[in-house]
Amino acid sequence: MKFDAMVLGGGIVGTSVALQLQRRGLNVALIDRKAPGNETSLGNAGLIQREGVYPYAFPRDFASLAHYAGNRGTDVRYHPTAMPKLTSFLVKYWHNSRPDRHAQIARAYSTLIEHCVSEHRELVEAAGAQALLRKNGWIKAFRTVKAFDGAVAEASRWKEEYGVEFDVLEDNALRQAEPSLNPVLHAGVRYSASESVRDPAALVGAYARLFERLGGKVLIGDASTLEHGWRVPTEVGVAEAETAVIAMGPWSGDVTTRLGYSLPLEVKRGYHMHYATKNGATLNQPVLDAEVGYMITPMARGIRLTTGVELGFRDSPKTPVQLEAVEPVAREVFPLGERVDSEPWLGRRPCTPDMMPVIGPAPRHKNLWFAFGHAHHGLTLGPITGRLIAESILGVHPTVDLTPFRADRF
């Protein structure tokens, strides 16, 4: 039970870190309370977002703020009881969303995003998981000309600044791409360089099996019990390692706080439900109904409907108000059949107020590393994060400069 490194957290980020370390010759344990891929990584929309160079910003115009303050939006809801705790975080988030600051953040963030597709493809090939990957992009669809024109202008700017490829789909082109969509969605932007996954949890599982084939150990244990000296009790004994990596997503703060760090980590909650289809309807790629704020994605289990953002305490009970609000709208857009799941799934996206993950060494502990806070882009950035942590631990100059993502920036 002695290892060169232990990785705490079996989501896409932690599994990628463990795999990248094991591939480079270290003896690694991956520790979590569940099998890999069964928490936050289970419930996303399955996107690998090459276009995601600008992380999701806080709205700053008065009309949007007034709209969300009423707490009736389909894309963002909040728990009033959580607002006193979240206020400081949201103020910082709002500040960092100022256009000049957001552009500065994008310049750093894009250095991660540019590697997301290539790093996934390498691991997918090694894991034999090609059947899970879809390479036809995803569509942001619109109901009004004004919103569509704004999205085209935004995509054009992203292409000029960062080389993000896109296609414009108007009327017939959108119908050809997705024949089963209601024409109420009259145009769209397809981000053709992005990819998607048919089953995110299965992809994490495939990476974990590759990790085990290479000699890594997947252990069941409560990673939050990490002790200095890097020891964690597991079902088969106490695991010990010279190096530890905290990659526990929204639970990372439980450990870092106990170790004396005060990092501004909060969560954006979100829900999903799977549906059968009716009348032989098909969905070829993920589609975002951008002006309402939900996404439908073809998954192995059915059509997955994912909601926007719910702001609240991490561990509060489910309140799937958004799902109930958007489901009737989604049924008008696409022929959804009966619900497949017995209840809505709730996930928690770990977020920082500057919209960037925490990747790098712990400032005050030797041989302790952080890899969390990826917000909406955990699946997107898991493999490149794993590579960067592995390179840094082994003393190799990292592929991406980690300075903007270090914990001591706060």
Selection from 153, 132, 256 nearest residue 197 by Cα = 132
For a pLDDT cut of 90, what percent of the chain falls above it? Answer: 97
> Which letter does DSSP use for residue 45 in this model?
-
Where residue 171 falls among pLDDT bands split at 50, 70, 90?
confident
> Which letter does DSSP use for residue 269 in this model?
E
Q: Which CATH architecture has domain 2-44+200-264+353-409?
A: 3-Layer(bba) Sandwich (3.50)
Mind listing the pLDDT tens digit for each residue in 76-122? Answer: 999 999 999 999 999 999 999 999 999 999 999 999 999 999 999 99
Statement: residue 36 has pLDDT above 90: yes
Residue range 394-407: average pLDDT?
A: 97
Tokens of 396: 């190799």
Statement: residue 218 has pLDDT above 90: yes
Residue range 12-39: average pLDDT?
A: 97
Tokens of 143: 């109901």
| 24 residue type, one letter | R
Mind listing the pLDDT tens digit for each residue in 373-384? Answer: 999 999 999 999
Q: How far is CA 379 from CA 42, 45, 112, 121, in A?
A: 10, 9, 12, 13
DSSP lists the bridge partners of residue 345 as 272
Q: What is the pLDDT of residue 124?
A: 98
Q: What is the pLDDT of residue 67?
A: 87
**pTM score > 0.75 for this model?**
yes
Q: What is the pLDDT of residue 172?
A: 93
Q: Is 255 left (phi over 0), alpha (psi -120 to 50) or beta?
A: alpha
CB 69 within 8 A of CB 317: no
Among 36-45, 98-107, 297-306, the range scoring the smallest mean pLDDT is 36-45
- For the chain, give every residue range classified as CATH 3.50.50.60: 2-44+200-264+353-409
The packing angle between helices 378-393 and 12-23, to 10°, is 30
Percent of the chain as helix, strand, coil, to the nearest 5: 40, 25, 35
- Give dist(CA 68, CA 57) in Å, integer: 14
Q: What is the pLDDT of residue 251?
A: 98
Where residue 257 falls among pLDDT bands split at 50, 70, 90?
very high
- For the chain, give every residue range classified as CATH 3.30.9.10: 62-79+133-196+265-350
Phi, then psi, of 91 in degrees rounded to 5? -65, -45
Residue range 294-313: average pLDDT?
A: 97
Mind listing the pLDDT tens digit for each residue in 328-377? Answer: 999 999 999 999 999 999 999 999 999 999 999 999 999 999 999 999 99
- Give dist(CA 20, CA 388) in Å, integer: 9
Q: Which CATH architecture has domain 62-79+133-196+265-350?
A: 2-Layer Sandwich (3.30)
Q: What is the pLDDT of residue 234?
A: 97
Q: What is the pLDDT of residue 364?
A: 95
Selection from 47, 295, 59 nearest residue 191 by Cα = 47
Where residue 54 falls among pLDDT bands split at 50, 70, 90?
very high
Could you identify the residue written with the tokens 């949890």? 201
Please, what is the Cα angle at 304 between 299 and 307, to 5 degrees? 145
Q: Give the CA radius of gyration of the chain.
A: 21
- Give dist(CA 228, CA 368) in Å, integer: 9
Residue range 207-219: average pLDDT?
A: 98
Q: What is the pLDDT of residue 333?
A: 98
